[in-house]
Amino acid sequence: MSDKRVLVTGGAGFIGSHLCKKLLEEGQKVICLDNYFTGSQENVSDLLQYPTFTQVHHDVTLPMNVEIDEIYNFACPASPVHYQYDPVKTTKTSVLGAMNILDLAHQSGAKILHASTSEVYGDPLIHPQQEEHWGNVNPIGIRACYDEGKRCAETLCFDYYRKYDVDVKVIRIFNTYGPNMHPQDGRVVSNFIVQALKGEDITIYGDGKQTRSFCYIDDLVNGIIRMMQTEKGFIGPVNLGNPGEFTILELAEKVVGLARSVSKIVFKPLPPDDPKQRQPDISLAKAKIGWVPEVCLDEGIERTIAYFKKVLI
């Protein structure tokens, strides 16, 4: 059993809940902090069996004081449906939340890993996306509360390292999927699977030729933990995602086939500022943390379909 005390903000969310479970399995003492806006008690209900697991209901936009050794900051709605619901709150969570968590790391001497996003690249000007790309983001668009909020949070991470010597790590997460996704979170994988299982039309926005790369949750969590274990001074940012590139239409057809669905594919107008391409260059992750994803899309989709079949019953 480890004496390390680990705080996971957004710990009851999709990614956070899987991370909490992995850390508990490794013998860590885990504090799961969440305000349950998008997180769910059900996501962490099976973790209550661990005596080293603690839940705290708290909003990161408010300061906190707890003795901690490591912090994983995942507190922010991450799907357009949720982060556009209250864009001002999203910006506060991204910026004020990051500042409060960085203050906590500074005060307690904790190492902190901050979860940023591939959305900092906006509609990228280079493909695949490398960490050196500064991005192409609309600062006043409907997605800017999330995109620019996350960009500012990265700025804070680097400034806290330079100004206060906080041991910071920054990852940029590309599209991730798997069990514990919210059925109505608006993300493309969950949307398609839910529609396919219900026999509803599969809704594609745009012509379906825009591309995405999809990483299974277990692969992502392994990369997150490996990044946290790197030496002080290596901040990143580091792309974490599966470099396999698929069009949205290919994904829809794959989901229909694997779900053995009778759903038809229909097309609707593309929302503003939706990026045309998204594919990570993971050369840095390979070189610095020895990480590559292992779960192929077909296998991951099958596992996720099995999860949603249980959830939708």
Q: What is the pLDDT of residues 88-135, one digit of tens each?
A: 999 999 999 999 999 999 999 999 999 999 999 999 999 999 999 999
Q: How open is the CA angle 42-43-46, to the nearest 5 degrees?
A: 80
| 233 CB neighbour count, 10 Å cutoff | 9
pLDDT averaged over every residue in the chain: 94
146 as an active site residue: the answer is: yes
What per-residue confidence (pLDDT) applies to 143? Answer: 93
d(CA 263, CA 206): 18
Q: If residue 116 lies in a helix (H) or strand (E), which one and from where to where?
A: strand 111-117
Mean pLDDT of 213-225: 97
Residue 173 host element (H or E) = strand 168-173
Amino acid at position 3, single letter: D
Q: Sign (positive/negative) of CA torsion 150, 17, 6, 240?
A: negative
Domain boundaries, the chain: 5-180+215-242+279-294
User: Catalytic: which of 72, 83, 121, 146?
Assistant: 146
- What CATH number should be reported for the domain whose range is 5-180+215-242+279-294? 3.40.50.720
DSSP secondary structure letters along 220-260 = HHHHHHHHHTSPTT----EEES---EEEHHHHHHHHHHHTT
What is the edge-to-edge ordering of all strands in the sheet holding 168-173?
Answer: 53-57, 29-34, 5-9, 70-73, 111-117, 168-173, 238-240
Tell me the two tokens of residue 271: 């929302």
Full-model pTM = 0.94
Percentage of the chain exceeding pLDDT 90? 88
Q: Which residues of 194-211 are buried (b: 16+ CB within 10 A; e: fewer)?
A: bbbbeeeebebeeebebb
Instruction: Answer whether 133's CB lies under 8 Å from 239's CB.
Output: no
If pLDDT is split at 50, 70 and 90, which confidence band does 313 have? low
